[in-house]
């Protein structure tokens, strides 16, 4: 929990400082008796959603926008603000689920590592899961992005070509679903296309329509391979864990890692590999961030 605890402490100290200042200015500011006393500013709880974002107040310390992380993946150290130190973004698609997600959250909590969850908000995932699961992810310092409402390739990409109108309508319904869970303050600048942006044709109009909403898509540069076709898929957790450093090596050993995994119902390979994935990245000097 080191990073999350440190962030929580920072927020707690900052809010303590604000609280300490408030009465002093009221007493010493020479207000006349007729001046209305300003209402005290409520102290934000570090674990609650920071309105206008997809993460908690505490997670702000290690959150990076999807647009920025995307540029880091594509342009490497030619991109603005490319990190001096290694940073990894663990990402889970196709959840939440009642079975897999809580196990992943237990491991992430034990390791003190934040992750980014790309939710399917419709009947395939969020709609059938107890809202306590996504709310736990938020409270424990993770970020929640959109991975569509339907995850229906035929609707989103008829003939393998993006239907921009359908994609953004589906996206907007997903945001409404997430506001039902996290409150009206939930907003996300991050979107992962079902199947990945790299898999489809004619993406520019959909990309532009999302950008009009302040949303940027993000793919990945390495994976555990847990959703790969059978001929490429790993058979054991050890094989899945080894695919992550192998993918980074193939990408030229970048300082930014975006790791694709899945936490859909019944998908256990990445859960079983997760500790090894985290330890390997940490051994290579990576710290962990979330995508906003």
Q: Where is 238: in which H helix or E strand?
A: helix 237-250
Closest to Zn ion by CB, 94 or 111: 94
- Give the shortest CB-262-to-Zn ion separation in angstroms: 7
Residue corresponding to tokens 């395939």: 124
Q: Are 176 and 149 in contact (CB under 8 A)?
A: no
Q: Which of residues 135-174 bind Zn ion (CB under 5 A)?
A: none
- Give the shortest CB-93-to-Zn ion separation in angstroms: 4
Q: Are 191 and 217 in contact (CB under 8 A)?
A: yes
Residue by residue, DSSP assigns 38-65 as: PPPPPPPPTTSB-TTSSSBTGGGGGEE-
Q: Where is 262: in which H helix or E strand?
A: strand 256-262
- Give the shortest CB-209-to-Zn ion separation in angstroms: 20
- Give the shortest CB-118-to-Zn ion separation in angstroms: 7
Interaction of residue 93 with Zn ion, rule CB under 5 A: yes
Interaction of residue 94 with Zn ion, rule CB under 5 A: yes
Closest to Zn ion by CB, 182 or 220: 220
Closest to Zn ion by CB, 56 or 150: 150
CA–CA distance, 127 with 177 (Å, rounded to integer): 8
Quick one: which segment of 154-162, 176-184, 186-194, 209-217 binds Zn ion (CB under 5 A)?
A: 186-194
Closest to Zn ion by CB, 56 or 100: 100
Quick one: which segment of 29-37, 71-79, 88-96, 104-112 binds Zn ion (CB under 5 A)?
A: 88-96
Closest to Zn ion by CB, 255 or 262: 262
Query: Which distant-in-sequence residues (6+ apart) come within 8 Å of 163 by Cβ?
Result: 155, 156, 157, 206
Quick one: which segment of 92-100, 169-177, 196-204, 206-214 binds Zn ion (CB under 5 A)?
A: 92-100
269-283 and 100-111 are packed helices; what angle lies between their axes, rounded to 10 degrees? 20
Closest to Zn ion by CB, 227 or 246: 227
- Give the shortest CB-239-to-Zn ion separation in angstroms: 21
Give me 292's structure tokens.
């906003």
Give me 37's structure tokens.
């006393």
Query: Which distant-in-sequence residues (6+ apart) come within 8 Å of 275 by Cβ?
Result: 107, 111
- Give the shortest CB-152-to-Zn ion separation in angstroms: 11
CA–CA distance, 59 with 143 (Å, rounded to integer): 8
Among 102, 114, 189, 194, binds Zn ion (CB under 5 A): 194
Residue of 58, 72, 95 lying closest to 216 (CA atoms)? 72
Q: Are 268 and 241 in contact (CB under 8 A)?
A: no
CA–CA distance, 134 with 98 (Å, rounded to integer): 10
Quick one: which segment of 79-87, 93-101, 181-189, 247-255 binds Zn ion (CB under 5 A)?
A: 93-101
Fill in the per-residue mask, 34 to 73: x = in contact with Zn ion (CB under 5 A), - = not in contact.
Answer: ----------------------------------------
Closest to Zn ion by CB, 83 or 194: 194
Closest to Zn ion by CB, 94 or 140: 94
User: How many residues make up the chain in this entry?
Assistant: 292
Residues that bind Zn ion (CB under 5 A): 93-94, 194
């Amino acid at each position: 929990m080191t990073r999350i605890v440190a962030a929580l402490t920072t927020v707690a100290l900052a809010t303590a400082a604000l609280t300490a200042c408030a009465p002093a200015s009221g007493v010493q500011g020479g207000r006349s008796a007729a001046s209305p006393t300003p209402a005290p500013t409520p102290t934000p709880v570090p674990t609650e959603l920071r309105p206008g974002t997809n993460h908690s107040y505490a997670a702000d310390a290690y959150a990076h926008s999807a647009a920025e992380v995307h540029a880091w993946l594509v342009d490497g150290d030619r991109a603005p603000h490319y990190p001096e130190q290694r940073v990894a973004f663990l990402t889970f698609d196709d959840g939440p689920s009642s079975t897999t997600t809580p196990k992943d959250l237990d491991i992430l909590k034990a390791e003190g590592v934040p992750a980014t969850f790309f939710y399917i908000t419709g009947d395939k995932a969020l709609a059938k899961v107890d809202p306590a699961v996504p709310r736990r992810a938020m409270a424990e310092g993770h970020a929640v992005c959109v991975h569509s409402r339907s995850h229906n390739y035929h609707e989103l990409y008829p003939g393998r070509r993006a239907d921009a109108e359908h994609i953004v309508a589906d996206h907007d319904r997903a945001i409404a679903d997430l506001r039902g869970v996290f409150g009206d303050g939930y907003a996300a600048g991050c979107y992962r296309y079902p199947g990945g942006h790299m898999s489809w044709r004619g993406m520019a109009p959909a990309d532009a329509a999302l950008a009009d909403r302040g949303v940027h898509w993000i793919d990945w540069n390495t994976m555990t391979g847990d959703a790969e076709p059978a001929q490429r898929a790993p058979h054991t957790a050890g094989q899945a864990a080894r695919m992550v450093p192998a993918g980074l090596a193939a990408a030229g050993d970048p300082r930014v890692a975006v790791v694709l995994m899945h936490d859909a119902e019944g998908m256990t390979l990445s859960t079983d590999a997760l500790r090894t994935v985290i330890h390997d990245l940490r051994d290579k000097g990576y710290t962990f961030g979330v995508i906003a």
